[in-house]
Structure 1
């Protein structure tokens, strides 16, 4: 029987998850398909019921549902529970829905694939305090990055994550981040800013950015977001969101089907589709 999977979110038009997973299904000779489904926040519960009724084997969850979906799941894996966010749902053999979070580990794998693992003692600035930021923050700490600052428009949201991370993390305003950018070795932009068909406004100006900084964005479409373009113009090393996208997808693929797909060829293929020459630069 043909398996099928999906990605749900709002917006969803920009997502390249269908192209990625359908290519992997073809490469692995699997009889499966993957669909994009636009789900508004108020439709989330009905959408989950529909996915179950129509026999979906699993699905990915993107903005803005990563936290909101949790009450509708039967079980969370340890990391998803700790992060308070889900980006992958598996429909188990008994019909129960189990949530996972592959964003954080996918990001760390992408970051260290680009810059190596010698920067773990550096100062990290996370911009944003949503579901993706939570996942990345916990994965960074778990991997060995200990000095983490989270900047967000609503500081209380950043403070909540920092309290869970422990004494090595602290929360600041976006204005404070803008004024102290030179203090950070790694900047990670986790908000939807720069998303294709979305807002192109920068979270703040990068005038104080160090030329030695490493700047990453989790948005991958467009490949070079306004944030990355501004950082590159100031001499920083930039890491696009495509690596995170591919690695988190590979981890989801593994949760669904018990095997890992080819990530190297996928990054090359998607980079070409997005009109870029280099994934990181």
Structure 2
């Protein structure tokens, strides 16, 4: 059977777990999928995408630093992508138009609610950071009807602008890290601090005895942020490996019309990460 070609595109890309994830999805579902990794030149993203589809490619996942460029490049965007200002999944529609979606937010919500049984309804949520990673998760979090969302960032103005953009059915406030002191039910670290062994300058009082700490980064050990949260009394700490697999499953379902079972894939990656 001829394989349909998919890939992840980024720069750098050698570290990406997407080829393994999608290969496991294809094996599990019996779909004729071949999935590779493409490192695009920093100044050649659009040309690389266009060449991929011209040669018969079916879909692309987009990772750093190209998600915002992908948003600009596409002809059609899903509502999730429109709000996020970033695209992580590309495909052609029936009219051969390049379309973009953002599956990061649904991936996070599914990891929290399905994999970890966390009820977000009426939850007090603190989100750290105001970059592209955070923009992608806000709208899906709001659909869970939390009580309120606070976005804290090193540069308060960016958080305030993002809060203004997304505010609507629930209260959303933007501020600096030093302005939050009360405890939250869920804290999501959407900064890249853990990659550098750093911590956002937060007061430990944001952690209560029922607080869940979620770091969108992951690794074989606790991330620095989750270690800090655990040391200061968080009830649970969760890393972003499940979100990585869940957002990939959302893309796979969009492309192939079938959603794989993510639990064994998360387990397989967890074994390898550990």
TM-score, L = length of structure 1: 0.87
- TM superposition shift of 1:13: 3.1
Specify every segment of 5 or more residues in structure 2 that has no aligned partner in the other structure, as ranges: none
After TM superposition, the structure 1 = structure 2 runs for residues 122-271 of structure 1, keeping only pairs within 5 Å, are 122-166=123-167, 168-177=171-180, 180=181, 182-195=182-195, 199-205=196-202, 207-208=204-205, 209-222=207-220, 224-236=222-234, 237-271=236-270
Alignment correspondent of 2:117: 116
After TM superposition, the structure 1 = structure 2 runs for residues 33-182 of structure 1, keeping only pairs within 5 Å, are 33-166=34-167, 168-177=171-180, 180=181, 182=182
1:169-216 per-residue CA deviation (whole Å, 9 max, x = no partner) reads: 111112334xx1x42221101123323xxx222223563333431100
- TM superposition shift of 1:263: 0.8
- Residue 120 of structure 2 contacts residue 145 of structure 2 at CA under 8 Å; is this kept in 1? no
Report the 3-state secondary structure (helix = DSSP H, G, I; strand = E; otherwise coil) of the residue aligned with 1:188: strand
- TM superposition shift of 1:4: 1.2
Structure 1 residues 116, 37: CA separation in 2 closer, same or farther (over 3 Å shift)? Answer: same
- TM superposition shift of 1:80: 1.3
- Residue 114 of structure 1 contacts residue 239 of structure 1 at CA under 8 Å; is this kept in 2? no
- TM superposition shift of 1:92: 2.8
Aligned counterparts of 1:43 and 1:149: Cα–Cα separation in 2: 37
Runs of 4+, deviation exceeding 4 Å: none
Structure 1 residues 38, 175: CA separation in 2 closer, same or farther (over 3 Å shift)? Answer: farther
Aligned counterparts of 2:153 and 2:65: Cα–Cα separation in 1: 17
- Residue 206 of structure 1 contacts residue 231 of structure 1 at CA under 8 Å; is this kept in 2? no
- Residue 56 of structure 1 contacts residue 91 of structure 1 at CA under 8 Å; is this kept in 2? no
TM-score, L = length of structure 2: 0.89
Aligned counterparts of 1:175 and 1:223: Cα–Cα separation in 2: 27
Task: Work out the number of aligned pairs and report it.
Answer: 269
